[in-house]
Amino acid sequence: MAVSLASRGELAKIEAKLDAAVACQVQEICKTQGEQSQVVRARLESMKANLLQRFKDNIVYSSWEVTDDEDSARGLPPAPVIPYDTECKDLEKEVQRLVESIAEHRATVLPIVSKRVSADMARLRQAAERKELAEGEDQGEAPAPLEPSPEALRGQLRAALERLPELERRLEDVTNVTSSTFTALESNRKRPPPGTLELALNDQLPGTGDTDESGAAKKQTRQRLVQDLRSAKLA
């Protein structure tokens, strides 16, 4: 992109401003980091030189009196000087006018369009409501409102979600109690009836009777065992 300058004096003014900016920056750095001032100065000078070179490569002078001494020193033919075209100035004014007009339209047209759209939406909404009422009257009844309302349903849903952790905890407690109950019932079912040992030792269960003297001795032995077991339980 070309940069138009009136003369080389304009470029000299730009260089002077860059030099002043570099000197000011170096002076500020010297106050805080004196030992780094030379390094910073060299860095800034290099940046300034690169910037000026890029700037010079894209300069177009509007005056015929400008000559390119640097190109002549390098053995290059002087670059053609393009005079400043008054038509470009008129075009710049037209572009500026259009930009201002666009900004004005952005600030004024959008509220107008929004207002018109809102009015059209309200008019269409009223027409739709009148149509629904007319259809309800034709059918003998007006359309009933939603019951419960969507807001009430959302509130019920939020309340149910808040109660969900508590319900899960209670369900887990009930499950644990039920499991313990079933385990106890199963243990009681498999346990032999009370007095089974005493009945067996007293020879009162089927198939445990003796009719001879040895049977009487066994019975006495079993009775002593029962007494010992009872004494052990009491202890």
Tens of pLDDT, residue by residue over 51-68, are 878 877 777 766 544 455
In this predicted structure, the answer to whether residue 175 has a pLDDT above a threshold of 70 is yes
Both 42 and 77 in a single domain?
yes
In this predicted structure, the answer to whether residue 5 has a pLDDT above a threshold of 50 is yes
Both 115 and 74 in a single domain?
no
Per-residue confidence (pLDDT) for residue 205, from 0 to 100: 46
Both 176 and 114 in a single domain?
no
Residue 132 located in a structural domain: no
Average pLDDT rounded to a whole number, residues 95-110: 82
Phi/psi of residue 195, nearest 5 degrees: 85, 5
Total count of domains within the chain? 4
Query: Contact at 8 Å (CB) between 78 and 72?
Result: yes
**Separation CA 203–CA 38 (nearest Å):** 119
H or E element, residue 61: strand 59-61
Of the two residues 78 and 190, the one the predictor is more confident about is 190
Per-residue confidence (pLDDT) for residue 160, from 0 to 100: 81
Which range of residues forms the domain containing residue 223? Answer: 193-235
**Separation CA 187–CA 181 (nearest Å):** 10
Residue 141 located in a structural domain: no
In this predicted structure, the answer to whether residue 190 has a pLDDT above a threshold of 60 is yes
Both 198 and 217 in a single domain?
yes
Q: Which of 84, 100, 115 delimits the end of a domain?
A: 84
Both 12 and 79 in a single domain?
yes
**Separation CA 122–CA 124 (nearest Å):** 5
Residue 45 located in a structural domain: yes
Average pLDDT rounded to a whole number, residues 1-22: 76
Spell out the residues 6+ positions from residue 70 whose beta carbon is closer than 8 angstroms to its own: 56
Of the two residues 232 and 27, the one the predictor is more confident about is 27
Letter string b/e over residues 46-61, b meaning 16 or more CB atoms within 10 A of that residue's CB: eeeeeeeeeeeeebeb
Confidence of residue 202 (pLDDT cuts 50, 70, 90): low
Average predicted confidence (pLDDT) for the chain:
71
SS3 60: strand
Residue 116 located in a structural domain: yes
Per-residue confidence (pLDDT) for residue 144, from 0 to 100: 59
For tokens 């007319």, the residue is 134
Both 220 and 175 in a single domain?
no
Both 119 and 69 in a single domain?
no
Per-residue model confidence as pLDDT tens digits over 106-119: 788 778 888 888 88
Residue 135 located in a structural domain: no
In this predicted structure, the answer to whether residue 133 has a pLDDT above a threshold of 70 is yes
Both 54 and 96 in a single domain?
no
Per-residue model confidence as pLDDT tens digits over 19-47: 888 788 777 777 776 666 677 777 778 88
Residue 233 located in a structural domain: yes
Query: Contact at 8 Å (CB) between 74 and 56?
Result: no
Residue 202 located in a structural domain: yes
Residue 158 located in a structural domain: no
Both 18 and 51 in a single domain?
yes
Both 80 and 11 in a single domain?
yes
- The pTM (predicted TM-score) of the whole model is 0.26
CB atoms within 10 A of CB 201: 20
Spell out the residues 6+ positions from residue 203 whose beta carbon is closer than 8 angstroms to its own: 209, 210, 215, 218, 219, 222
Both 209 and 181 in a single domain?
no
In this predicted structure, the answer to whether residue 211 has a pLDDT above a threshold of 80 is no
Both 9 and 79 in a single domain?
yes
